Chain A
Amino acid sequence: MSYTPPPHGFRTFVIVWAAQSLSVIGSGMTGFALNVYLAQVLYAAPEQKVELALAFTALSLGFTIPFVFGGPLAGAYADRHDRKQIMIVANVANGLTTALTLALMLAGSLQSGCLWSSASSLQRRRHFTTPLSMRRMRCWYRTACCPELTA
């Protein structure tokens, strides 16, 4: 069975990649800003060293845990449903979560628990926009290491 690539496939990929790149840079900026917020606003006093360390750890876990445990499941889910819809929903959900984080920050109600939720949510979006499903990894492996299987 021969594979026919979709028309304008690479152009579509470049457009999605460029837009996602902006979002990735934005998320990187937020990660930095949240560290600054924790260290300079929420736990600014020197005697809050332990609380600050715990908050950094919680934030780091918030970024890591969903990625590790949700990744394989999200990849399999993305293989079964409309990828465009999944990416749109994931981006809108994250836009709303980030907007909620902003609102809480402006209201002075942003605590480390909310930051943890926000970080987890950002990672959930990454599952659906990063090509890391096990099934896709299998395709990648076949193409990269066993080209005779793909031919």
Chain B
Amino acid sequence: MMQTTWSLSGIISPALAALIIALPALAAQGALPLAILAAMRDGTPLVIAIDALTFFFCAAVLVAIHVPSPKRADIGAGGRIEQGLWADVREGATFIWQRPPLLWLLSAFVIANMAGAPAGVIVPLLVKFNLAPNGAAHGLIFETTLALLGVVRALEGSLAGCSSAPGAD
């Protein structure tokens, strides 16, 4: 379910952020009856403020509910965990190292991330310096073009995942 959220976030977040960033411009044009928004240069601070509120909301939700913490099996007589923190990390790393399928899976993620990560740097630069004239010809500003590309990239990833799922064909 958290993976679904990350995928959904890739689709929803850029579009939602672009909409919120454009709100002050819409208010300045009279499309929204909110004078306080019209006074803002753009809606970037609004986006950051909403993000801060979501963190505090999450914390408040967690305060209100009971979250169980499973007890570890290796707790000693004094209630202390015998194994140190670094030993835990080492144990996990050794476990992965000794299982080639898991190691190959992690290696595949490393390669996929190394191949895909530069897009986060290159795409905004391409949009600003190469695609801007074409976007403007179609009535798209920087934020809209960037959001569109972000949504399409996230959709592409989700669709590829769905089509390769067992039983999809």
Contact = CB atoms under 8 A, between A and B. Distances in A.
Given A22-B57, A25-B12, A39-B142, A73 B68 contact: no
Interface in A90-139: 91-92, 94-95, 98-99, 101-102, 105-106, 125, 130-131, 133-135, 137-138
A145 B101 contact: yes
B135 to A, nearest CB: 13
B51 A76 contact: no
Contacts of B52: 95, 98-99, 102
A131 B66 contact: no
A82 interface: yes
For chain B, the bracket of interface size reads 35 or more
| Best-buried of B8, B14, B86, B93 by chain A (most CB within 10 Å) | B14
A143 interface: no
Interface string B43-67: 0110111111111111101110111
Interface in A1-18: 6, 9, 12, 15-17
Interface of B: 1-2, 5-6, 8-10, 12-14, 16-18, 20-21, 42, 44-45, 47-59, 61-63, 65-69, 72, 81, 85-86, 88-89, 91-93, 95-96, 99, 101-102, 117, 120-121, 124-125, 127-129, 142-143, 146-147, 150
Given A12-B65, A75-B92, A134-B92, 9 more contacts: A21-B9, A25-B8, A29-B13, A30-B48, A39-B127, A72-B92, A91-B58, A99-B52, A101-B48
